[in-house]
Amino acid sequence: MTTDTCGQRQAALRSRLEGEALDALLVTHLPNIRYLTGFTGSAALLLIAVERAVVITDFRYEVQAPREVGSAAEVVIDPVSVWSRLFGVLKEHDRWRVGIESHVLTVADAARIGKGFRGEVVPVADVVEDLRVAKSADEVAAIRAAAGLAQEALAEVLPSIRVGRDEFAIAADLEGALRRRGSEWHPFPTIVASGPRSALPHARTSERAVESGELLLVDFGAQVDGYCADLTRTYVVGTRADERQRMVYDLVGQAQRLAMERLRAGMTGAEADALARDVIRRRGFGDAFGHALGHGLGLEVHEAPRLAASTETVIPAHAVVTVEPGIYLGGWGGVRLEDDVYLGPDGPECLSSPAAELIELM
Ligand code: ZN
Ligand code: ZN
């Protein structure tokens, strides 16, 4: 990321702050700090004021922080307390209205700010997150690279999946393949869920061994330049799929394809969600699709916008979202298919290669 990019992002943020009559924003959410300055460390405060941007971090980042941040912000290293240093910076500004990120700041840190800063503290939510929704070409390219890497890693592992292998072993192979291909980290714990466990939409991977004729659901991600991909595939293991497995799989696939074709920026989250949900509901499986259709992807694996029945917020142009319908039948199993889609000015563009037919791993 270039200093120029950070400068433009900060400029966009400053015009938002002006709109809220804020003199500064204290940014404490690390993905937001990364977005605005390039700093990737695990501890920092960032103060964005009209004429200044200051990253305050500790001695562990003495070398890394200036290198990553460049001229995007001043870097201050405080070996004792980043908070005391922040209050030192704010000391001359006790008439300022300073925004805090109310959706992420802990109650303890808010109390600390109340004590250490004499000016006005204004809780604001999602100011930086709102800017992050519309992706630049570079951000889209990073997500596409992460999705490509994730698919290659999965393709490498598929031949070793067979009856008797346990979920942990499959997840370990996949995570190893992801890391070898350069995924910076797993954006969330890999889900490998076999048999009836595939009916748990957010199953935790377990020691259970996959049995013949069972569904196997794999939900996993990759991260490139900080940007996340998030994919889900479902297979049948050990034998040919039965009629019901095939029917459910085809229905989920049909719902996903239709949603990915018709999804547009400018729709509300609820309209987007309905694209897939209506297909599933019409066939009588509405109750078995109990989660939202998708979520935004970026520096975080779950970010705005939400594609959910309860969301009236409009999806902005240039968002990257997941499309992940599923059908979960308790005691039987579940099927989910998840791909990543960029909503550009020319319509939706899938950043991954959606699964077509149901694959039987034998
Ligand atoms: Zn997922
Ligand atoms: Zn997802």
Mean pLDDT per block of 10 residues along the chain (362 residues) reads 87 96 98 98 96 96 97 96 96 96 96 96 97 98 98 98 98 98 97 97 94 98 98 98 98 98 98 98 98 98 97 97 98 97 95 94 95
- CA of residue 295 to ligand 2 center, whole Å: 6
* Torsions phi, psi for 111 (to 5 deg): -65, -40
Which of 13, 20, 24, 30 minimizes the C-alpha distance to 54? 24
Residues 262 and 141 in one domain: yes
Region label for 126, one of left (φ > 0), alpha (ψ between -120 and 50) or beta (otherwise): left
pLDDT (0 to 100) of residue 60: 96
Of the candidates 71, 97, 132, which is a domain's last residue? 132
Residues 16 and 160 in one domain: no
- CA of residue 318 to ligand 2 center, whole Å: 18
pLDDT (0 to 100) of residue 170: 98
CA–CA gap between residue 264 and residue 199 (Å, rounded): 30
Rounded to the nearest 10 degrees, what angle do helices 82-90 and 107-116 cross at? 40
pLDDT (0 to 100) of residue 1: 65
Of the candidates 74, 101, 132, which is a domain's last residue? 132
| Structural domain harbouring 25 | 3-132
CA–CA gap between residue 114 and residue 118 (Å, rounded): 7
- CA of residue 182 to ligand 1 center, whole Å: 19
- CA of residue 288 to ligand 1 center, whole Å: 18
DSSP SS3 for 56: strand
- CA of residue 193 to ligand 1 center, whole Å: 12
pLDDT (0 to 100) of residue 345: 87
Residues 147 and 42 in one domain: no
Sequence-distant (≥ 6) Cβ neighbours of residue 246 within 8 angstroms: 358
Residues 119 and 146 in one domain: no
Residue 130: how many CB atoms within 10 A of its CB? Answer: 15
Ligand nearest to the CA of 291: 2
Ligand nearest to the CA of 320: 2
Residues 19 and 122 in one domain: yes
Residues 58 and 164 in one domain: no
Residues 220 and 146 in one domain: yes
CA–CA gap between residue 161 and residue 154 (Å, rounded): 10
Q: Which residues share a beta bridge with 276? A: none
DSSP SS3 for 268: strand
Residues 101 and 18 in one domain: yes
- CA of residue 192 to ligand 2 center, whole Å: 14
Residues 169 and 53 in one domain: no
Q: Which residues share a beta bridge with 236? A: 215, 360
Specify whether the CB–CB gap between 62 and 44 falls below 8 A: no
CATH of the domain at 76: 3.40.350.10
Ligand nearest to the CA of 203: 1
CA–CA gap between residue 296 and residue 290 (Å, rounded): 18
Domain count for the chain: 2
Residues 37 and 79 in one domain: yes
**How many angstroms separate the Cα of 338 from the Cα of each of 10, 121, 256, 304?**
33, 41, 8, 17
Specify whether the CB–CB gap between 11 and 36 falls below 8 A: no
Amino acid at 236: V
Which of 255, 297, 1 minimizes the C-alpha distance to 133? 297
CA–CA gap between residue 90 and residue 75 (Å, rounded): 15
- CA of residue 2 to ligand 1 center, whole Å: 30
CA–CA gap between residue 350 and residue 336 (Å, rounded): 17
Q: Which two tokens stand for residue 51?
A: 């004429």
* Report field, pTM of the whole predicted structure over 0.85: yes
Ligand nearest to the CA of 301: 2
Q: Are strands 53-57 and 45-49 parallel, antiparallel or unpaired?
A: antiparallel
Specify whether the CB–CB gap between 46 and 24 falls below 8 A: no
Which of 88, 44, 84 minimizes the C-alpha distance to 66? 44
Residues 109 and 185 in one domain: no
Residue 157: how many CB atoms within 10 A of its CB? Answer: 20
Residue 33: how many CB atoms within 10 A of its CB? Answer: 24
Residues 231 and 295 in one domain: yes
> Could you write out the DSSP letters of every residue in 111-177?
HHHHHH--SEEEEE-SHHHHHHTS--HHHHHHHHHHHHHHHHHHHHHGGG--TT-BHHHHHHHHHHH
CA–CA gap between residue 211 and residue 336 (Å, rounded): 19
Of the candidates 82, 102, 132, which is a domain's last residue? 132
- CA of residue 221 to ligand 1 center, whole Å: 7
Which of 296, 297, 261, 295 minimizes the C-alpha distance to 279? 261
CATH of the domain at 221: 3.90.230.10
- CA of residue 303 to ligand 1 center, whole Å: 13
pLDDT (0 to 100) of residue 213: 98
